[in-house]
Amino acid sequence: MPAADNVPPPPPEDCVARKLAATTVKKFKAQLVSERDRLERVIADHERELEEARMTETSAERSPDPGSAEAGSMNFEYEKELSLGQNTVDLLRKVERALARIGDGTYGVCESCGQPIPVARLEVLPYATECVTCARRV
Ligand SMILES: [Zn+2]
């Protein structure tokens, strides 16, 4: 006898119904595009600075005492610069992912739980891909 009760439930339709209005998505897309441009400029500037720092480092490489306090503080500054760049790259990735989600129509839906992300949250973080609850649950 076939088990008729095994049919999986249909996907919740109200997810689609609660999708963001096209005009709202358009507004966030404009914000995300300008944010992406800004971040790309910041990263380009930053890479140029790093390149200059690298060149300075290479010329100072023949220093007779690499373990001096001066060299140590220079490395510290350099690492700080690197981490600043990393945060910007992370942010750019988030912005690009949000733009990709606008492209495939999943923008404004939490990546983790599938619930709609409140517009108020997107106003603050247009690149948010998780709702507040999921973002806090780390
Ligand atoms: Zn969520």
What single-letter amino acid sits at 40?
E
Distance of CA 83 to the CA centre of its chain: 15
The winner for highest mean pLDDT among 7-21, 45-59, 118-132 is: 118-132
Question: Separation of 120 CA from ligand 1 center, angstroms?
Answer: 15
| Domain residue spans of the chain | 20-59+68-106
Q: What is the structure's pLDDT at 47?
A: 87
Q: pTM of the predicted model, to two decimals?
A: 0.66
Q: What is the structure's pLDDT at 15?
A: 44
Distance of CA 102 to the CA centre of its chain: 14
The residue written with tokens 């507040």 in the block is 132
Question: Separation of 106 CA from ligand 1 center, angstroms?
Answer: 13
80-121 tens-digit pLDDT: 666 666 788 999 999 999 999 999 999 999 999 999 999 999
Distance CA 114, CA 133 (A): 12
End-to-end alpha carbon distance in the chain: 46
Question: Separation of 64 CA from ligand 1 center, angstroms?
Answer: 56
Q: What is the structure's pLDDT at 72?
A: 58
19-45 tens-digit pLDDT: 788 999 999 999 999 999 999 999 999
